[in-house]
């Protein structure tokens, strides 16, 4: 009749916790863990501090903690624009910026409800000197007015369409947001003398097999080309999946478990890299301030995780048994989906930085004159022919080879 098992090993390593959880997988019990002594209240352990094991505890990687005085110096007294501020990444960046001595922060998104929630969180935290801008980054005049109204020092650009299957269906929208919208912001950053432009990218931009990843790679190339123009420094940060972000696999699995299953996994061998939202955004901020312009920063994501194993662990952490209580259904790869992700292409190596969790990808320089013309042409295509749009993307990103997608025939033609 045991319902809970409490692990009281101090500072238990992730791999050891995985072993313990796996050894109990056949039992319908919840596993809880005692926090480290330094987190006890006045030297005493409170019962409320004994928490259930979270899925991020099982990623076999040590949590990343950043408290860099350079961040305080670089963000102090700055006017900062955060795009996509209502999203998972943009919102966390916005909240972390609140801990530094900024001069003013502009929180921009077109999703008004989520932006309202962020505004309320800023009020609750008693953060001051901030503005809310409900706006679409594709609207040139609106973006120009924002850059004109605020003397912006730093841009953290997190606005993007990110869902792979949806963007396979809507390449025009992917281009309009991830390329055209990004291009508008970068051009304005140069025009208005912004000091630094930090773009959030994705590991799906590496050897892309889908429209979303390819459009983000185009944005990376454009950022790299823009860096040579003026005083504005363009920095790109590239990382994998974020635990608990909107539409990610963890909340989806939790929902499927709550509904009684089955959990749907696209392939038994599919793997992904994960880190927490707070870790990812801390690294974005640090990479942003350390960048001198032109860098693509990649993060140490730890070891990749097999999604099938993740699903089994989540079932067990819910106090249920697989497959008796919750089954796992293999549904097949979605259009454009990879079996595994990469943070670097075959042509890329890395250079170290002072933070061993952040590396610089050595990327070949593009022919910027030719590439910029193609990107501008791509940005201005209409939505009547998605095959024409994807074909143009493949010209800019020749390593873009479609997978499990209707666009595979374009690769055969070329």
pLDDT digits (tens, 9 = 90+) for 24-54: 877 778 888 888 887 787 778 888 788 888 7
Please tell me the total count of domains within the chain. Answer: 2
| Rounded CA separation 286/355 (Å) | 9
Indicate if the pLDDT at residue 68 is higher than 80: no
Residue 257 lies in a domain: no
Residue 182's SS3 state is: helix
382 and 284 part of one domain: yes
31 and 96 part of one domain: no
Averaged over 291-295, what is the pLDDT? 89
Residue position matching structure tokens 């050894």: 23
Q: How confident is the model at residue 399 (pLDDT cuts 50, 70, 90)?
A: very high
Residue 14 lies in a domain: yes
Averaged over 222-250, what is the pLDDT? 83
β 328-330/271-272 pair status: unpaired
Residue 340 lies in a domain: no
CATH, residue 197: 3.40.50.720
Indicate if the pLDDT at residue 58 is higher than 80: no
Indicate if the pLDDT at residue 71 is higher than 90: no
49 and 68 part of one domain: no
Residue 264 lies in a domain: no
Question: Which pLDDT belongs to residue 229?
Answer: 62
Residue 319 lies in a domain: no
| Rounded CA separation 16/302 (Å) | 16
Indicate if the pLDDT at residue 145 is higher than 60: yes
110-140 core/surface letters (b: 16 or more CB in 10 A; e: else) = bbeebbeebbeebeeeebeebebbebebbee
10 and 147 part of one domain: no
Question: Which pLDDT belongs to residue 11?
Answer: 78
29 and 125 part of one domain: no
Read off the tokens for 306. Answer: 């097999």
Alpha-helix residue ranges (DSSP H) falling in 295-347: 307-317
Residue 323 lies in a domain: no
34 and 140 part of one domain: no
% residues pLDDT > 70 (the chain): 94
85 and 46 part of one domain: no
Question: Which pLDDT belongs to residue 176?
Answer: 94
Q: Does residue 255 carry a catalytic annotation?
A: no
Over residues 165-210, the pLDDT tens digits come to 999 999 999 999 999 999 999 999 999 999 999 999 998 999 999 9
85 and 136 part of one domain: yes
29 and 123 part of one domain: no
Question: Which pLDDT belongs to residue 369?
Answer: 84
32 and 81 part of one domain: no
What is the DSSP code (8-state) at residue 280? H
Q: Is 229 within 8 Å of 189 (Cβ atoms)?
A: no
137/365: higher pLDDT? 137
Residue 318 lies in a domain: no
Indicate if the pLDDT at residue 148 is higher than 90: yes
Residue in 312, 355, 348, 305 with CA at minimum distance from that of residue 330: 312
Residue 254 lies in a domain: no
31 and 167 part of one domain: no
Over residues 241-289, the pLDDT tens digits come to 887 666 678 889 989 999 999 999 999 999 988 888 888 899 899 988 8
173 and 91 part of one domain: yes
Which of 204, 216, 233, 392 does the annotation list as catalytic?
Answer: 204
Residue 130: give the domain boundaries. 62-243+274-304+346-414
């Amino acid at each position: 009749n045991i319902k809970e098992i409490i692990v009281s090993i101090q500072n238990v390593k992730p791999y050891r916790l995985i072993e313990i959880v796996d050894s109990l997988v056949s039992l319908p019990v919840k596993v809880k863990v005692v926090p480290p002594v330094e987190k006890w209240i006045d030297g005493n352990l409170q019962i409320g501090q004994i928490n259930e094991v979270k899925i991020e505890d099982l990623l076999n990687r040590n949590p990343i903690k950043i408290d860099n005085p350079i961040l305080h110096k670089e963000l102090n007294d700055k006017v900062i624009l955060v795009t996509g501020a209502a999203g998972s990444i943009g919102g966390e960046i916005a909240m972390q910026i609140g801990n530094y001595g900024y001069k003013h922060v502009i929180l921009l998104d077109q999703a008004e409800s989520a932006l309202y929630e962020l505004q309320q969180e800023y009020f609750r935290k008693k953060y001051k000197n901030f503005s809310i801008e409900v706006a679409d980054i594709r609207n040139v005049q609106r973006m120009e007015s924002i850059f004109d109204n605020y003397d912006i020092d730093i841009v953290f650009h997190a606005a993007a369409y990110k869902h792979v299957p949806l963007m396979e269906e809507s390449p025009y929208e992917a281009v309009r947001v991830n390329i055209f919208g990004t291009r508008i912001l970068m051009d304005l950053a140069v025009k208005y003398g912004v000091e630094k432009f930090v773009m959030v990218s994705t590991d799906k931009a590496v050897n892309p097999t889908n429209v979303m990843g390819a459009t983000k790679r185009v944005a990376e190339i454009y950022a790299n080309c823009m860096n040579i123009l003026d005083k504005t420094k363009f920095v790109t940060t590239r990382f994998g999946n974020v635990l608990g972000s909107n539409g990610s696999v963890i909340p989806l699995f939790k929902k499927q478990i709550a509904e009684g299953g089955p959990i749907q996994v696209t392939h038994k061998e599919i793997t992904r890299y994960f880190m927490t939202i707070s870790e990812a955004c801390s690294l974005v901020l640090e990479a942003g301030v350390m960048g001198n312009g032109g860098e693509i920063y990649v993060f140490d994501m730890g070891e990749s995780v097999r999604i099938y194993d993740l699903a089994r662990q989540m079932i067990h952490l819910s106090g249920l048994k697989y497959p008796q209580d919750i089954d796992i259904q293999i549904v097949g790869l979605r259009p454009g989906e990879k079996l595994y992700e990469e943070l670097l292409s075959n042509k890329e190596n890395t250079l170290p930085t002072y933070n061993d969790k952040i590396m610089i990808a050595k990327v070949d320089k593009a022919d910027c004159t030719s590439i910029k013309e193609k990107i501008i042409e791509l940005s201005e295509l209409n939505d009547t022919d998605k095959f024409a749009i994807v074909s143009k993307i493949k010209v800019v990103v020749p390593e873009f080879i479609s997978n499990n997608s209707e666009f595979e025939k374009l690769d055969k033609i070329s």
